[in-house]
Amino acid sequence: MNWKLMRLFRATARIQRLHTMPSQYRQSVGEHTFSMALIVMFIHPNASAALLRAALKHDMAEAFTGDVPSPAKWHFPAIEDALKDAENKIHHRFEIHEDLTVHERNILKFADICELLMFCLEEAQGGNLIMLNVVRNCIAAMHKRKLVDVTPIAAELFQFLELHYETHYTPEDGEGAFYAHPEL
């Protein structure tokens, strides 16, 4: 048994997500990973074992790096490059890479973004309208990456979530909130 890998799994599960955003509920990487794996199973019922393993292991490097906020990676490409390098080294050292097809990688990315989208919609339903900025970013990313119909069930799920956002909130909701990431 690879006990180092087991310890890495456990350490990863406790990392806090979205630590730079005020939220009503603090989500751990373990909760995100579990929900993401369920999304994979839901949108692709015949998912390969490699795809399910990849879902469970996709954020394991965060045991070393923490959950670096996306805006930091967007605004500072050197941070994103350094993180990718670190992730590659961690994946190699702990042998946690899974060989996936392009379609499986797209399913994995859909599930990752979709889980964040669902978490942020739940936050907004509880009154945390600041999270609607993240919701808008998730919806835009799904369209930009052409992930909205990665499987027929994924298309239905995304359509439901997008429609929920459009019918319950306005584009201005959450904008100008006291706490919001400043534009660089």
Q: What is the pLDDT of residues 63-106, one digit of tens each?
A: 988 888 888 888 899 999 999 999 999 988 888 889 999 999 99
pLDDT tier for residue 148 given thresholds of 50, 70 and 90: very high
Quick: pLDDT tens for 66-75.
Answer: 888 888 888 8
b (16+ CB within 10 A) / e for 49-64: eebbebbbbbbbbbbe
* pLDDT at residue 119, as a whole number: 96
128 vs 53: CA distance, rounded Å: 33
Q: Which range (2-6, 88-92, 106-110, 117-121) has the least confidence?
A: 2-6
The stretch 37-61 carries a mean pLDDT of 96
* pLDDT at residue 175, as a whole number: 67
Is 21 in a helix, a strand, or coil?
A: coil
| Both structure tokens of 95 | 């042998």
Q: Indicate the length of the chain as a whole number.
A: 184
Determine if residue 176 is left, alpha or beta; phi over 0 gives left, psi from -120 to 50 gives alpha, anything else beta.
Answer: left
Tell which wins on pLDDT, 27 or 6: 27
* Torsion, Cα of 74, 79, 85, 87 (10° steps): -70
The stretch 157-174 carries a mean pLDDT of 88
CATH topology of domain 3-168: Hypothetical protein af1432 (1.10.3210)
Q: Spell out the domain ranges in the chain.
A: 3-168
* pLDDT at residue 182, as a whole number: 55
The stretch 55-67 carries a mean pLDDT of 91
* pLDDT at residue 20, as a whole number: 82
The stretch 21-35 carries a mean pLDDT of 91
* pLDDT at residue 184, as a whole number: 56
pLDDT tier for residue 177 given thresholds of 50, 70 and 90: low
* pLDDT at residue 8, as a whole number: 85
% of the chain surpassing 90 pLDDT: 62
* pLDDT at residue 174, as a whole number: 67
Q: Are 67 and 29 in contact (CB under 8 A)?
A: yes
